Chain A
Amino acid sequence: MYIDWQAFRLTLELAVVVSAILFTAGLPLAYWIAFSRWRWKFLVEAMISLPIVLPPTVLGFYVLVALGSRSPLGRWWQSLTGHTLAFTFTGLVIGSILYSLPFAVQPFAAAFSSVDRKLIAASATLGASPWGTFVRVIVPLSKAGLITGVALAFAHTTGEFGVVLMVGGNIPGVTRTASIGIYDQVQALNYAGANSMALLLLLFSFVVMALVYGLNRNGLGRRAATIVSLR
């Protein structure tokens, strides 16, 4: 039985880095979405949700263009590091962050929004700063939604294919993730190898989702998870 462990390790690395970044960046973004009263907020929300409806190839294509040496970003990166972002692990991370953004931010924002505003008001009257209220009231009461968001971002990054292929190509040890590896095996007519890798990915995804739903059996996050999984 052939399993491309290198591809699995790379996938795991990518998923960990991406979910860590999405957790850090997603919290303030979700806070803003949940509490801002800006009238054009819906446009930002729509933009964040785009990856849910867009074919990964479309997203991957534009990320590739943006990272390439003809775009300002690509040129700036090249002048800084001497090589382009496309077909690198960093490029993969950037593409994956954009691709998995809604899967983290939406459950976060849904959880934040469902915290009773009266609790937030009560916290303020008791002398807590907005940051204090966030840490002591909003986050603990959103725990289920936060777990859901991180797990979904992790799982979604693990399973992505189109964006990775567009942005990263298929370089063993650099950009070849498990899903690309499976594709590779099929191309090579090695169905047994494809099957063992696919089975492993299937099991892994099931475990992650089972964890999410298991942890959220009674929590708010279940609603968030449902919202996302219905899209």
Chain B
Amino acid sequence: MAAHEKNSASSPLTARIRKSFVSAERQFTLDVKFSAAPGFTILFGPSGAGKTTILDCVAGLATPDDGRITVDDRVLFEENAGGKNNNRGENREPVRKNVPVAKRGVGYVLQDLALFPHLSVEQNTEYGIANLPRAERKQRASAMFEEFRIAHLRRRFPGEISGGERQRVALARALVTDPCVLLLDEPLAALDAATKGKILDDLRQWNRAHRIPILYVTHSREEVLVLGDHVLVIENGRIIAQGTPHQVLRAPLQETVAQLAGFENIFDAVVESVHEDRGTMICCLLAGELENGLPLETPLVRAEVGSRLRIGIRAGDILLATGPPAGISARNVIVGRIVCLERRDMIISARVDCGVEMEVYLTLAAREALRLEVGLQVWLVIKTHSCHLMQT
């Protein structure tokens, strides 16, 4: 049960942030503009892309050079350098507003949680509501304990509980203050999938009652697919794509997104035929040695016959067989020859020449069992939906 119900639905968070960093190694400019509706908004991108800085700016721990951040029509930050014309065309004085961190009402779960080590779980949870009367404080904290299933831990200290439990305490501590926005910086990165899933369920449950925008930073593709209502792909300080996880990670997009999401195989291709009845199309991979290209059955996207696009296939999504496979659902079976076998940590990377060269990941055991060696003829099996299409 929620400790504190909100009567009105929150309006979205809007943010326009520009901030430059100059250091000896590099110059970096964060320049983003986005809005986040109640629910999860994922900030997805490689480390160093500026995701955490965005959260810091919203929380007030970092100050943008220029921009405007509002929640619930409340201006948290505004810096309009140089007194530029506003939208009415009037010339205005430079606007400056910077609500202090403590007055923003933004819940922030930092990357390493930052639980107070000298306070018990209960004291940690009540930290942000210490000014409330005792009875109300206890009641609100208890509600959070129930909601995040940590009531049995209340007398323990952060050093005495597990990673998943600490995560729950950090969430409870941030949410008990009834924030207008919740910021989560790779909160579940260190947890196993099962623990992660349960915590996210509890968080979703909480947010069904409270409906606040949640900015969730991650560099894990899996988390994006599991969570995403809305995804912002951030690279090098810019938003390079946004939409649902499927739009962003599965549909035609800039090549940067594909590389980011970890496609080892990226090919130029031409749409040869479109089969709307089957929900697929045939694309030919273009490669120097092949006259007609290598046909692949791919998912259907909005593309004309003859148009060019790019296909990304993860090395871990390709099956390798030493004989012609039969009776399988995958639509693409390609014959080729191993040209290179390479061990990388605990996986084997096989390069297979089938007109174009494809990289396939195998386990060490698979290499042994199949007696793979360079020069061996093999069959590659690729599911239609393992072919990810991108714009060229």
A: residues with CB less than 8 A from B are 116, 118-119, 121-129, 136-137, 140-141
Determine whether the beta carbon of B127 is less than 8 Å from that of A124. Answer: no
Contact A141 B61 (CB under 8 A): no
In the bound complex, CA of A198 to CA of B115 (Å): 49
List the B side residues contacting A118 at CB < 8 Å. 110, 112, 114
Q: Is the CB of A122 within 8 A of B102?
A: no
Which of B100, B101, B128, B174 has the largest count of A CB atoms less than 10 A from its CB?
A: B101
Q: How many A-B residue pairs have CB under 8 A?
A: 55
CB distance from A89 to the nearest CB of B (A): 39
The docked-state distance in angstroms from the alpha carbon of A121 to that of B113 is 11
| B127 contact from A116, A136, A140, Cβ within 8 A | A136
B107 within 8 A of A: yes
Size of the chain B interface, CB-CB below 8 angstroms:
25
Please state if B177 and A127 are interface contacts (CB–CB under 8 Å): yes
What is the interface of chain B, defined by CB distance below 8 A to chain A? 59-61, 100-108, 110, 112, 114-118, 127-128, 130, 173-174, 177
Q: Which residues of A contact B110 (CB under 8 A)?
A: 118, 121-122
User: Is the contact region of chain A dominated by helix, strand, or loop, or is it mixed?
Assistant: helix
A17: min CB distance to chain B, Å:
31
A140 partner residues in chain B, CB cutoff 8 A: 118
A127 touches B102 (CB 8 A): yes
Which residues of chain A have C-beta atoms less than 8 A from B103's C-beta? Answer: 127
Name the residue on A nearest B170 (C-beta): A122
Contacts of A126 in B (CB 8 A): 102, 127-128, 173-174, 177
The CA-CA distance from A123 to B130 in the complex, in Å, is: 12
CB <8 Å contact, B118 and A141:
yes
Chain B: minimal CB distance from A61 (Å): 45
Contacts A119-B114, A121-B101, A122-B108 aside, 13 further interface pairs with beta carbons under 8 A come to A118-B110, A119-B116, A121-B59, A121-B108, A123-B127, A125-B61, A125-B107, A128-B127, A136-B127, A136-B130, A137-B116, A141-B117, A141-B118
Q: Which residue of B lies closest to A116 (CB)?
A: B114
Are A122 and B177 within 8 A (Cβ)? no
Using CB atoms, name the residue of chain A closest to B131: A127
Set A116, A121, A137: member contacting B61, Cβ < 8 A: A121
Query: Which residues of chain A are near B115, meaning CB under 8 Å?
Result: 122
